[in-house]
Structure 1
Amino acid sequence: MSPNISGYRWLALVSYIGLLSWVLIWQFATDFSQQSVLFKSLVYVLPLLFPLLGIIRGKPYTHAWANFILMWYFLHSLTMLYIAPEQRWWAAVELLLTTLAFAGCTLFARNQGRALGLGLKKLKDEQDG
């Protein structure tokens, strides 16, 4: 693995685990919401656990589809920045971690996928072959 790809993997891993930790602290250690523990666990924590093993193992495909899950947290942070002035600092950190995780996952999936020859073939190449 090249140093660039390794750096992208590190960025994705650290920011993803950081986001998971931040969400756990925000939702369970603060007293902002009156939602049940089950609701918080299912809505805020569970989605981040689905791709965690693949991200830890460095699987490019998992990094790629983890971005779909990250978009939930991106939208959540933007919404909280707008509607909850008392939680803006929490939402700003969530936005930063989500953005870094998205960039790291995207760059790692793209570059490691190319290095492994996992890219999608273009329709034009399929029709010619």
Structure 2
Amino acid sequence: MTITNKNLPTPTEKVIKNLRQNKPNPNYRPMIYICAPYTAVIMNNHEVIKQVETYCRFVYECGGIPICPQLYLPRFLNLRNYCELNTAVFIDVVLMRKCAEVWAFGKPTGDMKWEIKKAQKKSQPVRYFTESLEVTK
């Protein structure tokens, strides 16, 4: 996270602060859906997995709760099995709907574009970031 002045919040910290407004619990953290390469994680690409973990840490450090199904679901679902993959897609959409926003990291892959379209169809806010965690849109 880049901060030029320790007293000034980053744009993402401002977003989280706005999402916290009017919440009675001072410890409230909004859930943020992590939109990142899905297939590469399923294929056990360790470099991509580490990058996705970095995205989750970034959301956490900004004050959000990262929701990242691609790191969670392969632990107990066989995503190479068609039925279990369909279940995973359903779970992804359910989790996405519970989140305040969708944050997309890096150049959108086919999987990510599908998730972004799902979010936009329900008018769910989508924010875009580079792989180096800079806001792009």
Q: Report the TM-score when normalising by structure 2.
A: 0.30
Structure with bigger strand share is 2
Q: Highest CA radius of gyration, 1 or 2? A: 1
Q: Report the TM-score when normalising by structure 1.
A: 0.31
Structure with bigger helix share is 1
